[in-house]
Structure 1
Amino acid sequence: MTNPPPVDDDRGCLRLVLAVPLTLLTLIAAYFCWTALTISPSGSWDDDAYAGIVLSCVLTIASAAAAVALWLVPSVRRVTPWWWILPALLLASVAAVRWAVGG
């Protein structure tokens, strides 16, 4: 007679599966944060550059918020440690400061 596997037996596989969307959302946030930081207006009249900065900041914050929302699901939170979400939160903070200062 065989014993059933322990309940937490699939945590490694589940962690790997959940790492994919969290990583993709964080990479999307990183890309838009990078664009927000590298766009430099030619002058105070350059409304297109300012609009690009604001859009990049909004998209950074939105993708970081989506990563946080995914992590807040109880089944996801149970298998992924809290520090997995820190890069997305840091990127959202940088984008919020960039938006407030230069957007």
Structure 2
Amino acid sequence: MTGPSPVDDDRGCLRAVLAVPLTLLTLIAAYFCWTALTITPSGAWDDDAHAGITLSCVLTLASTATAAALWLAPSTRRALPWQWLLPALLLGTVAATRWAVGG
């Protein structure tokens, strides 16, 4: 009698376990990206606002890089397709663009 392979049986559980940190990192990146987009400097002299934008962008990029590093692990790539990483990568792109533009 042939049944599903043991790898297929554990994949659903592994997907749920690995999806939690990837989702949390994406939510963290989303929060800091939102912060970077909503901070508006009062003028060119507003160094505090520019520092806040920079910090938010750096934290977004750090969360995105951590999510990408987690996804690059072979066990994660087998359990979660690349579409799970796409939102974090898009947030990282938005943050990098916001950082490059400045404010």
For the criterion TM > 0.5, the same-fold answer is yes
* Aligned-partner residue type, residue 68 of structure 1: A
Q: Give unmatched runs, 5+ long, in structure 2.
A: none
Deviation, structure 1 residue 39: 0.1
TM-score, L = length of structure 1: 0.93
Q: Which residue of 1 aligns with 2:83?
A: 83
Deviation, structure 1 residue 102: 1.8
Runs (4+) off by over 3 Å? 2-5
* Aligned-partner residue type, residue 6 of structure 1: S
Q: Which residue of 2 aligns with 1:53?
A: 53
Q: Give unmatched runs, 5+ long, in structure 1.
A: none
Taking only the aligned residue pairs, the percentage that are identical comes to 77
CA RMSD of aligned residues (A): 1.6
Measured against aligned partners, the alpha-carbon deviations of 1:1-34 in whole angstroms (never above 9, x if no partner) come to x988622211111101101000000000000000
Q: Which residue of 1 aligns with 2:21?
A: 21
Q: Which residue of 1 aligns with 2:5?
A: 6
Equivalents in 2 of 1:36, 1:27: separation in Å? 14
- Number of matched pairs: 102
Equivalents in 1 of 2:4, 2:39: separation in Å? 53
